[in-house]
A = this chain, B = another copy of it.
């Protein structure tokens, strides 16, 4: 099976979103892909016709087995290329994403497997995310507390461990929710508070108590 770059991008984004919540919504996917909900709907129909997606209109959607397999192959390519760029071509880990976004659409399966071998079958990419093997097997990535996250390492909120109303209210006010991408800009040893940066927003400060209960995983 060979898919267009756009289809691969949709599959990949759906895969990531449905790790969070089992079901994915049109708006969420549109936001993830920086496109419009109407465009997403158009693509969903095509993916459904190709039997990669379980989808009923107005009711959300998720990948079926075929879709997942396809998505994982794209993710495998992306992460192997990132590894190559950082380890062999001396790129910084923060500048490889865009290039890998292009390279991941090169279709040759043999190329990917040869690249994998050339790199020594690495199992995590430069951001710490697991690289699926040739059969699409995944080592699920671990989530850590925000308080353990290294400085300037992009992460994504994957869970909130203490769900008191007060806590959720505080997080909502600071625009932090499930799936929020963020990184730590500064750590204050005095009280272990953190300054956290969310894309397109001014930095916010979180106490150690809050940070301890926000679980994150490496962003890709």
Residues of B within 8 A of A114 (CB): 89-91
Residues of B within 8 A of A107 (CB): 102
Identify the closest chain B residue to A98 (Cβ). B108
| Shortest distance from the beta carbon of A107 to any chain B beta carbon, whole Å | 7
Task: Encode contact with B along A72-94: 1 for CB under 8 Å, 0 otherwise.
Answer: 00000000000001001111000
Spell out A's residues near B (CB within 8 Å): 85, 88-91, 98-99, 102-103, 106-108, 111, 114-115, 118
Instruction: Jot down 12 A-B pairs with beta carbons below 8 A, ordered by A.
Output: A85-B111, A89-B111, A89-B114, A89-B115, A90-B114, A91-B114, A98-B108, A99-B106, A102-B106, A103-B103, A103-B106, A106-B106
- Interface SS of A by simple majority: helix
Contact of A99 among B88, B90, B98, B111 (CB under 8 A): B111
Q: Can you name 8 extra interface pairs (CB under 8 A) apart from A89-B118, A103-B103?
A: A85-B111, A89-B111, A89-B114, A89-B115, A91-B114, A98-B108, A99-B108, A102-B106
Identify the closest chain B residue to A108 (Cβ). B99
